[in-house]
Structure 1
Amino acid sequence: MVKHLWNKYKAIIAYLFWGVVTTIVNLVVFQILSPGLHWGVILSTVLAWVAAVLVAYFTNKVWVFGSHYTTVMDTLVEMLRFFFYRGVTLIIDIVITYVGIKMLKFDSPLQQFIVKFIDNVIVVIANYIFSKWLIFRNNRGIER
């Protein structure tokens, strides 16, 4: 029973685990740069995104979706798709961050953290949908 459930949901469990790791990377980098070093909110968001996407690509490729591309061209196309769709969610990330922190004035360190946490939950869900159905769809034997 447990083995059956594990096999059925292992991609989702792995995605959630690595999504938490990626979210932690995003939040830590953002907190260091924006409230910590007083860098701009948007620049801090973009740099936190870059760090998180690098972690996400390799963990998603290997441990979540089991991508088996071995040629340079196939891997490059996959990576470009991954970064493109992560770019789409970066726009979502920037909009939520800007609205929450700049427009709604949630600008104390705790309020910024809460805005970024909520933002990351939305982004992780969107990223899973993009990854499962648009990025890692043609190169593995994982059930849909």
Structure 2
Amino acid sequence: MIKLITQLWQRYRSVLAYLIFGGLTTVVNFVVFWLFNDLIQWPYWLSNVIAWLLSVLFAYITNKLWVFDAKTPTLSSLIREAGSFFGFRLLSLGVDEAIMVIGISVLHGNPLLVKLIDQVVIVVINWFFSKLFIFKKQTE
């Protein structure tokens, strides 16, 4: 049984690690959104941006170190990688904000339920961005 689990982990490590750390990133995003939206009672769109910022910082570190095991041999490649990561995350923030506005302001959904649905969509989008564009194997 342990051998099977080890084989599955080795074969699907990137996807499984992304799901684990993507889940933790979602928890960070969700908790920060809840704190600012429900407890501090800031507007949902501002709470969402703050949650995005903190969760993207968490995601960059965990994705780089433990999900994609990305090596950046030079400062210029690190800057390019980080710029790409945050740039693509800005694109997903646009989708994130659109889902929140439509779900809350247009459809009058519960902000926490809309946020939960939103995060499922965003995790999938971000995985594709990370896998295909950001943390691809360095050729330098």
Q: Does 1:137 align with 2:136?
A: yes
Structure 2 spans left out of the alignment, 5+ residues:
none
Aligned positions, number: 136
* 1:26 corresponding residue in structure 2: 29
Report SS of the residue matched to 2:137. Answer: coil
| Alpha-carbon distance in structure 1 between the residues aligned to 2:9 and 2:38 | 40
Give the structure-2-normalised TM-score.
0.93
Q: Deviations over 1:70-111 (max 9, x none)?
A: 3211101000000000011000000000011111112xxxx2
How many Å apart are 1:116 and its aligned residue?
A: 0.3
- Percent identical pairs in the alignment equals 39
**What is the root-mean-square deviation in Å for CA atoms of aligned residues?**
1.2
Q: Deviations over 1:20-59 (max 9, x none)?
A: 1100000011001112111011111111000000000000
Contact conserved, 2:44 with 2:111, CA < 8 A, in 1?
Answer: no
Report SS of the residue matched to 2:100. Answer: helix
Q: In the alignment, residue 127 of structure 2 is paired with which amino acid? A: Y
| Alpha-carbon distance in structure 2 between the residues aligned to 1:49 and 1:21 | 13
Q: Does 1:117 align with 2:120?
A: no
Give the structure-1-normalised TM-score.
0.91
Structure 1 spans left out of the alignment, 5+ residues:
none
How many Å apart are 1:138 and its aligned residue?
A: 2.6
Q: In the alignment, residue 32 of structure 1 is paired with which amino acid? A: L
| Alpha-carbon distance in structure 2 between the residues aligned to 1:53 and 1:124 | 11
